[in-house]
Amino acid sequence: MKKILSLIGLFIICNSCVGQNSTHLYSQDQNNGIETSNPKLVVGIVVDQMRYDYLTRFYNKYGEGGFKRMIKEGFNCKNNHLNYIPTNTAPGHASIYTGATPKYHGIIGNSWYDKETKKNVYCASDDNVQSVGTLSNAGKMSPHRMVATTFTDENRLFTQMRGKTIGISIKDRGAILPAGHTANAAYWFQGKSEGNFISSSFYMNDLPKWVNQFNASDKVESYFKIWNTLYKINTYVESGSDLNNFEDGFKGKETATFPYDIKSLSTENNNFDILKTTPYGNNIITDFAIAAIDGEQLGQDNITDVLAVSYSSTDYIGHNFGVNSKEVEDTYIRLDKDLERLFNTLDTKIGKGQYTVFLTADHGALDVSAYLQSVKIPSGYLDFKEVKEKLNVFMMETFGASDLVENISNNQIFLNREKIILLGLDLVDVQEAIVNEIIDYQYVDKAYTAAIMSSASFSTGIKSLVQNGFNQKRSGDVFVIYQPAIISYYSITGSSHGAGFNYDTHVPLIFFGKGIKHGDTLKKTRIVDIAPTMSALLGTAFPNAATGEPLEFVLED
């Protein structure tokens, strides 16, 4: 009898332990199908070209409901970095959502030289699909060049395609890559003379009713108005002088200074496209995201949906006006209010404590090199045309051929391998010869061959960043690293990015909402850790090529 009672007790204890330690948050219910203690909605926010110090520099200008709410209620990873080169938009969005670097997911740039077709290809272009919502080719896009799954894909697979995924951005790549291969939809903004959100036949044959209604409204046109600073400009002490020599501005306006009459300037600045380079572009994305929450009924059941939102106007403004501009400061002050508006909507529509948000960036940005020079910080501009001419002379003198370099792009040199074989040359010898030549060029700091990237393993330093961005099938033969604060094109106005230095790699990472602890850390985290963390939160499989690790210290037990 005692043995029977002991066995019964052991059975009860074991079942109790299984229940307490289970990390799978889904359970079956005869009446409701899938029940879950997971968030009803995950919102991934990527701010294009957001340096980490925009959080701290403009902190006192932010309200309580946006960035500060995330920090005060959530978990702030203060030392978060991209761990690959190049630090550009498409690789950034792909890496955030796949948990992998370009080495594995294949998105090695916004565009790149295709070694098979001998042409440049765009990261999302797809001639096998049709535009939806526009007569132009702007909708002929899909994620087919990204060879890995995203955490959004894994959530779709886990929920038997019942959990929705919607991607939204001004840029096509900012909507398509995060949404993944199995998304219900990705929408992006078609400017010029249209001013509408469009999509691709990869997702649908026709735009849904709610999108048509949004496009038919006057919401977008309402932002053709004056852009002035939200607060008095003399209080913007966190940025430089409004009138300076380091900003581009808009055609039709003599100086890049506030205020800007967006409606009157639109004619000379490609009509609706001008809105992309104002904070109103972010307003439009928030408007559309809120419409999507209603139109798609996101977060209205117990099966987790994902809304991927990318704010791209920050990038356009950064390139135009530069890191230290009043325009960038005003843009982030206004973005903070957009976040508050989005969070308030989520509170109302989904419910406080029922959704989870993460916010990060696809890359940072370099201060305008001409500005850095003016304050005596080493910086400069590389004459790319001169480099190409000098390299061609070297190739002719050394190998007797001037056409061995097939393409130079994304700081990579692509060689004509067929010609190398025809001349009886050794590919590795040619790669090494180029490295030994260009290392002496002005502003070149380091250079590496594809042979080294394929055969050696690097875990630290700039070499590891190059290797994490090196895709053996798609990348070039030689990789060139410039000195810090060097831009490989000449323009004394506006910011750029793409390097592996801290100004490009150090970006925000904040989690808040359901399942997230409150706190912060200076422990180094990586952009590829985001997707595995979200997968761990949801109890799904990790993206199939993920190399990142779950940040368990941000998750509630």
Where exactly are the structural domains of the chain? 41-197+214-368+500-554, 383-441+444-482
How many other C-beta atoms lie within 10 A of the C-beta of residue 232?
A: 8
How many other C-beta atoms lie within 10 A of the C-beta of residue 383?
A: 16
Quickly name the fold that domain 383-441+444-482 has. Gyrase A; domain 2 (3.30.1360)
One-letter amino acid of 217 = S
Q: Is the dihedral of CA 323, 325, 330, 331 positive or negative?
A: negative
Per annotation, catalytic residue among 36, 89, 159, 360: 89
- Stated as kind and residue range, the H or E segment containing 185 is strand 185-190
The Cα 285–Cα 271 span in angstroms is: 18
DSSP codes, 378-440: --EE--HHHHHHHHHHHHHHHHS-S--EEEEETTEEEE-HHHHHHTT--HHHHHHHHHHHHTT
> Which of 202, 206, 204 shows the shortest CA–CA distance to 128?
202
The Cα 259–Cα 170 span in angstroms is: 23
pLDDT tens, N- to C-terminus, the chain (557 residues):
333 444 434 444 344 443 333 333 444 433 344 445 899 999 999 999 999 999 999 999 999 999 999 999 999 999 999 999 999 999 999 999 999 999 999 999 999 999 999 999 999 999 999 999 999 999 999 999 999 999 999 999 999 999 999 999 999 999 999 999 999 999 999 999 999 999 999 999 999 999 999 999 999 999 999 999 999 999 999 999 999 999 999 999 999 999 999 999 999 999 999 999 999 999 999 999 999 999 999 999 999 999 999 999 999 999 999 999 999 999 999 999 999 999 999 999 999 999 999 999 999 999 999 999 999 999 999 887 888 889 999 999 999 998 999 999 999 999 999 999 999 999 999 999 999 999 999 999 999 999 999 999 999 999 999 999 999 999 999 999 999 999 887 678 988 999 999 999 999 999 999 999 999 999 999 999 999 999 999 999 999 999 999 999 999 98
The Cα 48–Cα 510 span in angstroms is: 15
> Which of 430, 469, 437, 422 shows the shortest CA–CA distance to 451?
430
The Cα 258–Cα 221 span in angstroms is: 21
SS3 content of the chain, % helix, strand, coil (to 5): 40, 20, 40
The Cα 183–Cα 166 span in angstroms is: 6
> Which of 506, 504, 553, 507 shows the shortest CA–CA distance to 533?
553
Say which CATH superfamily domain 41-197+214-368+500-554 falls into. Answer: Alkaline Phosphatase, subunit A (3.40.720.10)
The Cα 206–Cα 215 span in angstroms is: 13
Tell me what pLDDT residue 385 has: 82
The Cα 171–Cα 103 span in angstroms is: 23
Q: Which two tokens stand for residue 522?
A: 């200076």
Residue with tokens 């690789």: 91
Residues in the chain: 557
**Which residue blocks in 83-223 are alpha helix, DSSP H?**
89-98, 102-105, 151-158, 172-179, 209-216
The Cα 253–Cα 263 span in angstroms is: 12
Q: What values do phi and psi take at 480, rounded to 5?
A: -115, 130
Burial level of 397, CB count in 10 A (0-12/13-18/19+)? exposed
State how far the alpha carbon of 183 is from the alpha carbons of 40, 308, 520, in Å.
17, 10, 32
The Cα 311–Cα 301 span in angstroms is: 27
Q: What values do phi and psi take at 257, rounded to 5?
A: -135, 150
> Which of 266, 158, 133 shows the shortest CA–CA distance to 212?
133
Write the CB contacts of 22 (distance below 8 Å, at least 6 apart in sequence): none
Helices (H) and strands (E) in the chain, counts: 20, 24
How many other C-beta atoms lie within 10 A of the C-beta of residue 117?
A: 8
Helix (H/G/I), strand (E/B), else coil: 138: helix
The Cα 305–Cα 295 span in angstroms is: 13
One-letter amino acid of 81 = H
Q: Which two tokens stand for residue 369?
A: 């090199």
Tell me what pLDDT residue 124 has: 98
One-letter amino acid of 322 = G
Give me the long-range contacts of 416-421 (CB less than 8 A, separation at least 24): 417/115
* 313 touches 278 (CB < 8 A): yes
Q: Establish whether 521 is a catalytic residue.
A: no
Tell me what pLDDT residue 388 has: 86
Helix (H/G/I), strand (E/B), else coil: 96: helix
* 26 touches 38 (CB < 8 A): yes
- Residue 261 pairs in a beta bridge with 226
Cis before 86 (ω within 30): yes
Q: Which two tokens stand for residue 423?
A: 């001349």
Tell me what pLDDT residue 491 has: 74
Burial level of 4, CB count in 10 A (0-12/13-18/19+)? exposed
The Cα 329–Cα 237 span in angstroms is: 10
